[in-house]
Structure 1
Amino acid sequence: MICHLPLGVFIEVCALKKDSMKKLLKGQPSLIIRNGEWDMKQMKNNHLDLEQVRTMLRKQGVFTLRKVRDLYLEPGGEISVKLHTETGSVTPDMLGLDSGDEPPSILVIEDGKIKEEELQSVKKSKEWLMKKLQK
């Protein structure tokens, strides 16, 4: 007797029965940023560029990369973000004071190339950027 199950049902059953099949068929999260450090190999493996990640972060209300501790790309294409904990000095926010808004981060280097227009938009020079990179 031949069973005529749709392929999708067959795949789901296989994924439920065996963990190794589940990883193969459903995928697993990729750690794109670990402890604030970018994993460029994972970016390349997942066909991501920095601007795509920044866009996804902004959609989650994160406007500066410095706040991101860990970033996972989930199998469905969504991201999960763990922010750095606020430790150390007392901040105005902790005291209930208005601290002013922090401007969103600007991408000034992409694929190893300096983006002149972005530097000009924040009134910075190439020399300023080179000094910052050498720190």
Structure 2
Amino acid sequence: MLWLLLLHISAVVCWCGSLLYLPALIAGTASQQTDIERERQQSLMLMVYRLFSTPAALIAIASGTALFITGGITGLWLILKLSLVSTLVFCHALSGWMMLLTQKMPDKNVTLSCVLLIIVVAILIPSIVWVVLTKPL
């Protein structure tokens, strides 16, 4: 059971870190001037999203689900936590959508959207940690 908790925490840290990094990559891709620089930045962005962020998210969700099923964890705080995690999943999907947007329309300015996404993720992460540690409900 302890290994499952360690796996979950490790995956969550990787996922949340990548969710903070991806909007900066997306905004950086949109600001590149030459096609070669933009192409290199887009390949890095796709690599982080496909090979790091998405697998970490799937592992975090699967291991978290296994934790509360095997541990018999219940409570209203869990519903609040899962609601916050669902919002984090939405932010993950929004990052993917913004990546596609910058690929299809490289001249589109998405910097403000990226800043707002970082702010939302930066609020969600400590909120989830607070709910898990205090179990307020």
Assess same fold via TM > 0.5.
Answer: no
Higher relative contact order (CA 8 A, sep 6+): 2
Q: TM-score, normalised by structure 2?
A: 0.21
Q: Which has the higher strand share?
A: 1
Give the number of the structure whose alpha-carbon radius of gyration is greater.
Answer: 1
Q: Which has the higher helix share?
A: 2
